[in-house]
């Protein structure tokens, strides 16, 4: 009944960074909300953020089999990282790709995700609620199956 929240580069700067695009909330706020939400469903939520592609790759490997699911905002690596795509393909634990902004309404280079095809699903464009909706997808599913 454990979920893992993963965030990629620059997500540690939420609340300071491009507030018009990403809002005023911080990563700590998201973490707290998701931990509370998981608790409401009798689950647990761990959190990992890194600005380094290799550390995110290691985290996916280590998470394999340890979690019911992973919520992952790969940030800019979404659009570039074959390594993260291959890591998601290599593990059995399902990953939901999460984006705060509606990447499809932004620059063309954000329209493509290298990761999405290997993910269980994708939630995009709901601000901070993108994380919440992704968490609910797993938590509701968890509740149905156990
Ligand atoms: C993002 C969208 C990416 O294109 C961007 O590089 C980010 C954040 C989002 O959550 O909207 O850093 O993943």
Q: Does 42 map to a domain?
A: no
Number of folded domains that form the chain:
1
Q: Does 101 map to a domain?
A: yes
Calculate how far, in angstroms, residue 9's C-alpha sits from the geometric centre of ligand 1: 9
Residue 90 has pLDDT above 70, yes or no: yes
Q: Does 98 map to a domain?
A: yes
Q: For the residues 117-131, what does the mean pLDDT come to? A: 98
- Output the DSSP codes for the chain: -EEEEEE-TTGGGTTTS-HHHH-S--HHHHHHHHHHHHHHTT-EEEEEE-S-HHHHHHHHHHHTTT-SEEEEE-GGGGGT-HHHHHHHHH-SS-EEEEESS-GGGS-GGGT--SSGGGSSEEEESSTTHHHHHHHHHHHHHHHHH-
In ligand 1, the atom with minimum distance to the C-alpha of 102 is: 11
- 99 catalytic residue (yes or no): yes
Q: Are 65 and 94 in contact (CB under 8 A)?
A: no
Residue 15 has pLDDT above 90, yes or no: yes
Q: Does 91 map to a domain?
A: yes
Q: For the residues 30-42, what does the mean pLDDT come to? A: 98
Which residue carries 């600005």 as its tokens? 51
Residue 74 has pLDDT above 90, yes or no: yes
- Say what the pLDDT of residue 80 is: 98
Calculate how far, in angstroms, residue 53's C-alpha sits from the geometric centre of ligand 1: 15
Average pLDDT, rounded, for the chain: 97
Q: Does 136 map to a domain?
A: no
Is this complex scored with an ipTM above 0.85?
yes
Q: Which residues, judged by CB distance below 6 Å to any ligand atom, belong to the binding site of ligand 1?
A: 10, 73, 75-76, 78, 99-101, 103, 110
Q: For the residues 79-108, what does the mean pLDDT come to? A: 98
Q: For the residues 123-130, what does the mean pLDDT come to? A: 98
Share of the chain above pLDDT 90, in %: 97
Q: Residue 85: which domain range?
A: 64-69+80-108
- Say what the pLDDT of residue 145 is: 64
Total residues belonging to the chain: 146
Q: Does 104 map to a domain?
A: yes
The predicted model scores a pTM of: 0.97
Q: Does 89 map to a domain?
A: yes
For residue 9, give every residue at least 6 positions away whose Cβ sits within 8 Å of its Cβ, in sequence order, or none. Answer: 50, 51, 52, 75, 76, 77
Q: Is 8 exposed, middle or buried (0-12, 13-18, 19+ CB in 10 A)?
A: buried
- Say what the pLDDT of residue 59 is: 98
Q: Does 93 map to a domain?
A: yes
């Amino acid at each position: 009944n454990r979920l893992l929240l993963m965030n990629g580069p620059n997500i540690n700067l939420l609340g300071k960074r491009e507030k018009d695009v990403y809002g005023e909330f911080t990563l700590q706020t998201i973490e707290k909300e998701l931990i509370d939400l998981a608790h409401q469903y009798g689950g647990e939520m761990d959190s990992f953020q890194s600005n380094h592609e290799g550390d995110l790759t290691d985290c996916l490997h280590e998470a394999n089999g340890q979690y019911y699911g992973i919520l992952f905002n790969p940030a800019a690596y979404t659009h570039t990282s074959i390594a993260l795509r291959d890591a998601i393909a290599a593990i059995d634990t399902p990953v939901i790709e999460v984006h705060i902004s509606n990447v499809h309404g932004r620059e063309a280079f954000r329209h493509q995700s290298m990761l999405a095809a290997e993910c269980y699903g994708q939630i995009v464009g709901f601000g901070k609620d993108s994380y919440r909706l992704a968490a609910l997808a797993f938590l509701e599913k968890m509740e149905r199956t156990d």
